[in-house]
Amino acid sequence: MVSGEHVFAEYLSNPDDVKEEWWWKDKENDDSRETDQPPPLEGGGEMSERQQLPVSNILLQQQYPETVVLQGATGDNRVALTFDDGPDPRFTEQVLDVLNEYDVPATFFVMGARADAYPAIVTRIQEEGHIIGNHTYWHPNLVEEGEISTLEREVTQTEDKLADIIGYRTKLFRAPYGFLYNELVEKLAEMEYTVVGWSVDSLDWREGPPEEIAYNVLSNVQPGAIILMHDGAEWEGDRTNTIESLHQIIPALQAQGIEFVTVPNLLNIPYQK
C-alpha cells in the first residue's frame, strides 16, 4: 500500500488530482481503500491556523442568533463535550473508550474525507449514542478560500457521505478553525444548518500536557458550556494528551454534579434534517 507520506507529497504537488483519487488500491491484491495515515487538513494544522481569528464568533452569534450557537442555557447544570477533525484511527477510538468508561455522550464534528476513509469508526460513534456533525470534507480555511461555492461543495459532499453511513442528514455544522464570515453564515442558514461554535476552548490543539488541557477546561467551564476538543490531528499531530485529559475533566465535573449531554440536548435543537 502507498504510504501516507507519499500521498501527502502528491497532494502538495497536485491537490485536485489527489482529492479525486485519494485512496490507492492494488487492483490485483488489495481491496482496502485506507492509507496508513488519515487525509490531511487542507487548510493546515490547528496550531498554525488558529493563531488568527478573522471574524468574532460572538459577533456572528449576535448577528445571526437563529443560526449560530456558542453555548446553552446557564441555568441548567449541563455541558457538552465536542470533538473535531476525526474520525482518526490513531485517536478517535481511544476517545470513545474513555467516553464509554464514564458513560458520557458527546458530539463529533467529522471531516467527510476521513469519514469516507474510516466509515466503521463513524458507525461506532453513532452506535454508542453520540451525535455527528458536518466539519467540511477537506477542512479548508473557508475565510481564506473566500468563495461561497467552496463552502457549498465542502458541506454538501460531506453531508452526502455522512448520510450514506449514518442514515440521516445532519443539521449541525462547525467550520474548520471556527472561521466564518457573514455571507458564509447566511449560506449555511439557507442550507438549513445550525452553526455550532464553543464557549470553552480546551486549547488541546497546542498539545500541552494533560494537566494544562484539563485546567483550560475546568477553570473556564460554566453551566451550558460547549467545550471544544479534538479527536483528530494532522499527520504530525498527537491527541494523546487530549485523551489523558479527559480522565481529569470528566470526573471533576461529574463530582460537581454537572451532566454531560450532546449539543442537540443542551440546546434543545434538532440534529437531523
> Residue 22's pLDDT band (boundaries 50, 70, 90)?
very low
Q: What is the pLDDT of residues 112-157, one digit of tens each?
A: 999 999 999 999 999 999 999 999 999 999 998 888 999 999 999 9
Decide if 204 is catalytic.
no
CB neighbour list of residue 253: distance below 8 Å, 6 or more residues apart: 79, 218, 221, 260
Would you kindly state where each structural domain of the chain is located, as residue ranges? 1-37, 41-267
Per-residue pLDDT at 29 exceeds 80? no
Those residues whose C-beta lies under 8 Å from the C-beta of residue 269, and which sit 6 or more positions away, are 69, 171, 194, 263
Q: What fold, for 41-267?
A: TIM Barrel (3.20.20)
Question: What is the pLDDT at residue 162?
Answer: 98
* 166: confidence class by pLDDT, cuts 50, 70, 90: very high
For residue 31, pLDDT over 70 is answered with no
- Alpha carbon of 103 to those of 106, 166, 261, 270: distances in Å? 10, 21, 10, 22
Beta bridge partners of 18: none
Task: Report residue 184 as a C-alpha cell.
Answer: 458564509
| Active-site option among 139, 230, 231, 247 | 230
Which residues have C-beta within 8 Å of that of residue 187, sequence separation ≥ 6? 148, 151, 152
Q: Is the pLDDT of residue 28 over 90?
A: no
- Pick the catalytic residue: 84, 85, 88, 231? 84
Catalytic site includes residue 84: yes
Among 3-17, 45-59, 198-212, the range with the most confident prediction by mean pLDDT is 198-212
pLDDT of 146: 83
The model's confidence at residue 11, banded by pLDDT at 50, 70 and 90, is very low
Could you give the C-alpha distances from 68 to 97, 181, 200, 272, in angstroms and in order? 30, 11, 15, 16
- pTM (2 d.p.): 0.84
Burial class (CB in 10 A: 0-12, 13-18, 19+), 103: exposed
For residue 16, pLDDT beyond 50: no
